[in-house]
Structure 1
Amino acid sequence: MGKILKEIGKEYEVREQNFEIGHTVKVFTKIVEGKRERIQIFEGTVIGIQGSGVEKSFKVRKMVGGLGVERTFPLQSRMIQKIEPGKKGKVRRAKLFYLRDRIGKKALLKPEKN
Structure 2
Amino acid sequence: MKATVLTKETILDYEIKDRKFPEFRVGDTIEVGQIVKEGNKQRVQLYKGDVIAISNNGISSTFTVRKLSADGVFVERIFPYYSPMIDGVAIVKTGDVRRAKLYYLRDKVGKMARIKEMVLTKEQKEAKAALSKE
Q: Secondary structure at the match of 2:100?
A: coil
Match of 1:24 among 11, 23, 29: 29
Q: In structure 2, which of residues 6, 13, 18 is the aligned counterpart of residue 14 of structure 1?
A: 18
The letter of the residue matching 1:49 is I
Residue 125 of structure 2 is matched in structure 1 by none
Deviation at 1:16, TM superposition (A): 4.0
Give the unaligned 5+ runs of structure 1.
none
Q: Distance in 1 between matches of 2:20 and 2:112?
A: 31
Q: Is the 8 A contact 1:22 1:47 kept in 2?
A: yes
1:42 matched to 2:12: no
Letter of the 1:29 counterpart: Q
Tell me which amino acid in the other structure corresponds to 2:107. D
Structure 1 distance, partners of 2:98, 2:55, is: 17
CA distance, structure 2, for counterparts of residue 13 and residue 34 of structure 1: 26
Question: What percent identity do the matched residue pairs reach?
Answer: 40
Where does the alignment leave 5 or more consecutive residues of structure 2 unmatched? Answer: 121-134
TM-score under structure 2 length normalisation: 0.77
Once superposed, what is the RMSD of the aligned Cα atoms? 1.5
Separation of aligned partners in 2, 1:113 and 1:19: 16
User: Deviations for 1:42-80, whole angstroms, at most 9, x for unmatched residues?
Assistant: 000000000332111100001112111000000111000
Greater alpha carbon shift after TM alignment, 10-19 vs 70-79 = 10-19
CA distance in 2, matches of 1:52, 1:88: 24
Structure 1 residue 93: deviation in Å?
A: 0.3
Q: Which residue of the partner structure matches residue 90 of structure 1?
A: 96
Name segments (4+ residues, structure 1) moved above 3 Å: 5-8
TM-score between the two structures when normalised by the length of structure 1: 0.90
Query: Does the 8 A contact of 1:24 with 1:43 survive in 2?
Result: yes
SS of the aligned residue for 1:81 comes to: strand
Match of 2:84 in 1: 78
Give the 3-state SS of the residue equivalent to 1:70 in structure 2: strand
Distance 1:113 1:85 in 2: 15
1:86 deviation in Å?
A: 1.7
